[in-house]
Amino acid sequence: MVRTFPPEIALPTWVTPSLATRAGSVLPHRGGGPLSGAPRVAASPRYPPQVSFRPADRPRVHREVVSYVRRSARMNPSQERAWRGQSGRLLVDVPHGERSTSISPDATVDWATEFGRDAPLMVEIGSGRGEALAAVAEAHPDANVIGFEVFQPAVASTMSLLTREGITNARLVLADGVEGLRRLVAPGSLSQLAVFFPDPWHKARHHKRRLIDPTFAALAASRLALGAHWRLATDWEEYALAMREVLDAEPGLVNAEDGWAPRYVDRPLTKYEARGLAAGRTIYDLDYVRAPAEPLPDLVHRTPLPEPHGEPAW
């Protein structure tokens, strides 16, 4: 991805965006707003020197490692229409934290009020364009189904799909599903959790961004009711093996199968799966069940670390 510098910054003539990016230097402020004049250039014996920019009127935003890429949220006209027309009905608007995708620590949601009924809760994290969310909601009319997705155009497409299919038992949250589980879902309250084709972050230096890690596994286990299923799928073999290792090691979960699971019956073919198949990759399904274990703590996800630079290659 080419990053462009805000036009108001006077850059030293030798700094091109690609140079600054390759040098791994701190990139210019992405959110606009007045900056504190010229960029600071730290003395360095290496070429090019390190360049950093800081907006004058903005405190430093606390960054955590997250499992998604921040990308443009531009919507096409049909997504715009769906967003305008359906978000009042389908979007659960939560107060955000420092990032637009984070959730305020004091946010609460009364799911029974949101759905207009009390029913078993099913969650999908990273619901994308909503194909699986819609299929699960349709197959389980007696459940309240929630999709957490950080990419607004995908949420808008899901709204279109749910409306077209006449599905009334699904709602969407435009936010990080890790925070959603932690802050908005009560321990032991889920009857199903789904994570299908999470971003693979296949480069070793990006593995820390993978959604499925031991901390998240413990959080997820803590939110499932006893006997409830956590269903996962991926087309990335090495990630599939890593998932097995992480989930097998989580004391609150047991593998429902003796190894890989058969394809989950309510999981439709999505663009991501089709792409993996077209590239000759194998699809791995996993199915874990919440087992009786010691009560799990209310977990805080991940230790804050600096955000890595660079874009994923998938």
Task: Return residues touching ligand SAM (CB under 6 A).
Answer: 67-68, 125-128, 148-151, 154, 176-178, 196-199, 211, 270-272
Q: Which helix (H) or strand (E) holds 50?
A: none
- Output the CA torsion 250→254→284→201 (10° steps): -10
Least distance from C-beta 213 to ligand SAM, angstroms? 12
Which residues, in sequence order, are CB contacts of 304 under 8 Å at separation 6+? Answer: 62, 63, 64, 65
**Phi-psi map region of 116: left, alpha, beta (phi>0 left; psi -120 to 50 alpha):** left
Q: Which is nearer to ligand SAM, 196 or 288 (CB)?
A: 196
Which residues, in sequence order, are CB contacts of 223 under 8 Å at separation 6+? Answer: 123, 181, 185, 186, 187, 188, 189, 190, 193
Alpha helices in 14-90 (DSSP H): 17-22, 77-90
Q: Which is nearer to ligand SAM, 67 or 191 (CB)?
A: 67
Least distance from C-beta 198 to ligand SAM, angstroms? 6
Would you name the residues annotated as active-site residues? Answer: 199
Residue 208 is assigned to a ligand binding site:
no
Q: Which is nearer to ligand SAM, 197 or 284 (CB)?
A: 197
Least distance from C-beta 133 to ligand SAM, angstroms? 9
Residue 118 is assigned to a ligand binding site:
no
| Of residues 155, 232, 163, 237, the one with CA closest to residue 193 | 232
Q: Which is nearer to ligand SAM, 53 or 239 (CB)?
A: 239
What three-state secondary structure class fits 139? helix
Residue 272 is assigned to a ligand binding site:
yes
In terms of C-beta density within 10 A (0-12 exposed, 13-18 middle, 19 or more buried), how is residue 18 classed? Answer: exposed
Which parts of the chain are beta strand (E)? Answer: 40-41, 51-52, 121-125, 144-149, 170-174, 190-196, 224-234, 253-255, 284-290
Residue 199 is assigned to a ligand binding site:
yes
Residue 176 is assigned to a ligand binding site:
yes
Least distance from C-beta 302 to ligand SAM, angstroms? 11
Q: Which is nearer to ligand SAM, 212 or 228 (CB)?
A: 212
Residue 270 is assigned to a ligand binding site:
yes
Least distance from C-beta 35 to ligand SAM, angstroms? 29
Q: Please give the annotated binding residues for substrate, written as ranges.
A: 203, 235, 270-273
| Numbered residues of the known binding site | 124, 149, 176, 199, 203, 235, 270-273
- Binding-site positions for S-adenosyl-L-methionine read 124, 149, 176, 199
